[in-house]
Amino acid sequence: MRNNEFKVVIVGRENVGKSSLFNKLISQHKAIVDDYPGVTRDMIEGDVNWLGRKFKLIDTGGILYDNPDKIKKLVLKQIDYLIDNCDIVLFVVDAITGLQPDDKKIYEYLKKNNKNFIVVANKCDNENIVNNAYEFYKLGIEKIFTVSAEHSLNLDSVLDYIISNIPLKTEKEEKEKIPRITITGKENVGKSSLFNALLNKERVIVTDIPGTTRDVIDSEVVIKNKKFIFVDTAGIKKRKNIKEKVVEFSIGRAFANIKRSDIVIHIIDVIDGILETDKKILGYIHDNYKGIILAVNKWDLIDVKEREKLKQKYYDYIKKNLPFLDFMPIVFISALKKSNLEKLIDIVINVENQYNQRVKTSSLNKIFEEAIFNKPVSSKDGRFRMFYMTQVSVAPPTFTIFVNKKEKISSSYIKYIENKIRESFGFKGVSLKFKIKQKEK
């Protein structure tokens, strides 16, 4: 790499949406976007930060072969230089107009020069256009990324691919990782109000991190001398032009942000309660072993005399309908009135500490042995044995249990062990991960 910067260059023929893609990836309107071909002539650079991995993104003018225009020839010369001095090329094509002669020439050039490149089929605004993009497989391409820069569809897949090619961070850089807190929920439950209240309530905003994708906003903030990255996401909503898959798409977008988080604050409207969509998202947070907090918003709308009774209803509902989340803290807030936010912040800090908590093997096995003694695993042949357990990692806390026959241990018994660990060491608001390994005596 040059100058220790990972460089990504966007190339393609004119009017395929390169500048639109560039603007969305850097989350700024730096490149001029117009339907008239050839608007972008000079290269434009921007910085992208995706999941803490940074790279330089470069937009280029449209490639037009066999054109007498001297400026067009200079653009080609400039692009040749950029391609030779970058790490990845995003070869953007138009899924609506389909495969064109200049697309074939660009592909042949990239392949001939052995460049690491991917094909990004833009303007895939609906399923029919996505199907049109498959025409580009005729070039012999193994993978096509179908996106819509205008509507911010599937851009995260492109970003994930790019950062997968960036060399891993050093051990020192990993230790300096800043916890990522994502706020999720339906439309109009108060996510942005909470996001703004958390950042503006006498906090020190370090920086607004440029672009990820879509309607996501990231801000690095210091709370009680500790850095966090708070992420405000778009609400789960229906989008036009996605037809029957609208709900699945919008929920999938929320899931993508959850996977990139350390802790998720899922916010609901106190009047609406926990709906089926909320259950699905809460279950996904749990299954991906994230820290989890349920924030019941608009608490100011509830009469003071009714609050304790309603709180108990929420606790009982979780216990009955979502028993796998019995460790999840619930906080009742008003983002608009900025009430009870200090308690929410204290819970976030505590959950983050629990998410990175490590238990000594000696202390862990003392609890483990007591649990086995009080409730031995039944085995008809008497040959099943559990040897010991150890915590192998944090974020999420992950435990390995060593047994002689791993098929003999049930999920219910693992849950029993989990409960005993929680009784002794807390892990409030944190999903625990268990691995079973088989070994001989």
Report whether pLDDT(385) > 70.
yes
Report whether pLDDT(92) > 70.
yes
**Packing angle, helices 246-259 and 276-287, rounded to 10:** 30
Q: Are residues 212 and 93 in the same domain?
A: no
Give me the mean pLDDT over the 47-52 stretch.
79
Report whether pLDDT(374) > 60.
yes
From CA 397, how far away is CA 354, in angstroms rounded?
8
**pLDDT (0 to 100) of residue 376:** 84
Q: Are residues 58 and 15 in the same domain?
A: yes
Q: Are residues 212 and 79 in the same domain?
A: no
Q: Are residues 342 and 216 in the same domain?
A: yes
pLDDT band at 237 (very low <50, low <70, confident <90, very high): low
**pLDDT (0 to 100) of residue 427:** 96
The secondary structure of residue 336, as a DSSP letter, is: T
**pLDDT (0 to 100) of residue 381:** 58
pLDDT tens, position by position, 246-303: 344 445 556 777 888 999 999 999 999 999 889 988 999 999 999 999 999 999 999 9
Residue 239 lies in a domain: yes
Coil, strand, or helix at residue 146?
A: strand
**pLDDT (0 to 100) of residue 386:** 85
Asked if residues 122 and 16 have their Cβ atoms less than 8 Å apart, the reply is yes
Amino acid at 432: L
Give me the mean pLDDT over the 24-35 stretch.
56
Residue 124 lies in a domain: yes
Query: Taking the C-alpha atoms of 296, 192, 205 and 152 in order, what is their torsion angle to the nearest 10 degrees?
Result: 130
Q: Are residues 114 and 49 in the same domain?
A: yes
Which one, of 191, 7, 149, 151, lies nearest residue 89 by Cα? 7
**pLDDT (0 to 100) of residue 229:** 87
**pLDDT (0 to 100) of residue 320:** 94
Q: Are residues 345 and 291 in the same domain?
A: yes
More confident residue, 223 or 328: 328
Task: Give the residue numbers spanning the domain of 115.
Answer: 7-164
Q: Which two tokens stand for residue 152?
A: 């911010």
Q: Are residues 348 and 382 in the same domain?
A: no
The secondary structure of residue 147, as a DSSP letter, is: -
Which one, of 1, 44, 2, lies nearest residue 21 by Cα? 44
Domain boundary among 135, 164, 193: 164
If one counts the domains in the chain, the total is 3
- For β-strands 330-332 and 88-94, DSSP reports them as unpaired
Residue 399 lies in a domain: yes
Min mean pLDDT across 78-82, 186-190, 309-313, 421-425 is at 78-82
Question: 377-391: b or e for each residue (b if 16 or more CB lie within 10 Å)?
Answer: eeeeeeebebeebbb
Cα–Cα distances in angstroms (integers) from residue 212 to residues 60, 215, 216, 291, in the given order: 20, 9, 7, 22
From CA 240, how far away is CA 290, in angstroms rounded?
31
- CATH number for 403: 3.30.300.20
- For β-strands 330-332 and 291-297, DSSP reports them as parallel
Min mean pLDDT across 89-103, 315-329, 400-414 is at 400-414
Min mean pLDDT across 22-26, 212-216, 402-406 is at 212-216
Which one, of 140, 153, 336, lies nearest residue 246 by Cα? 153
pLDDT tens, position by position, 110-131: 888 767 899 999 999 988 898 8
From CA 144, how far away is CA 146, in angstroms rounded?
6
Report whether pLDDT(1) > 70.
no
Q: Are residues 201 and 331 in the same domain?
A: yes
pLDDT tens, position by position, 387-399: 888 998 899 999 9
pLDDT band at 245 (very low <50, low <70, confident <90, very high): very low
pLDDT band at 33 (very low <50, low <70, confident <90, very high): very low
Asked if residues 145 and 119 have their Cβ atoms less than 8 Å apart, the reply is yes
**pLDDT (0 to 100) of residue 103:** 92
More confident residue, 30 or 160: 160
From CA 357, how far away is CA 363, in angstroms rounded?
13
Residue 37 lies in a domain: yes
Q: Are residues 327 and 425 in the same domain?
A: no
Cα 202 to chain centroid, rounded: 27
Q: Are residues 22 and 113 in the same domain?
A: yes
Top mean pLDDT of 38-52, 190-204, 240-254 is at 190-204
Domain boundary among 340, 355, 370: 355
Residue 335 lies in a domain: yes
**pLDDT (0 to 100) of residue 28:** 52
pTM of the entire predicted model: 0.61
The secondary structure of residue 41, as a DSSP letter, is: -
Top mean pLDDT of 19-23, 61-65, 80-84, 217-221 is at 19-23
Domain boundary among 355, 379, 396: 355
Residue whose entry in the numeric block shows the structure tokens 């009047």: 271
From CA 120, how far away is CA 104, in angstroms rounded?
14
From CA 410, how far away is CA 419, in angstroms rounded?
14
Query: Taking the C-alpha atoms of 330, 335, 339 and 345 in order, what is their torsion angle to the nearest 10 degrees?
Result: 60
Residue 183 lies in a domain: yes
Which one, of 46, 43, 81, 73, lies nearest residue 60 by Cα? 43
pLDDT band at 75 (very low <50, low <70, confident <90, very high): low
Q: Are residues 139 and 187 in the same domain?
A: no
Residue 114 lies in a domain: yes
Beta bridge partners of 90: 10, 118
- CATH number for 90: 3.40.50.300
Residue 170 lies in a domain: no
**pLDDT (0 to 100) of residue 14:** 87
Q: Are residues 81 and 216 in the same domain?
A: no
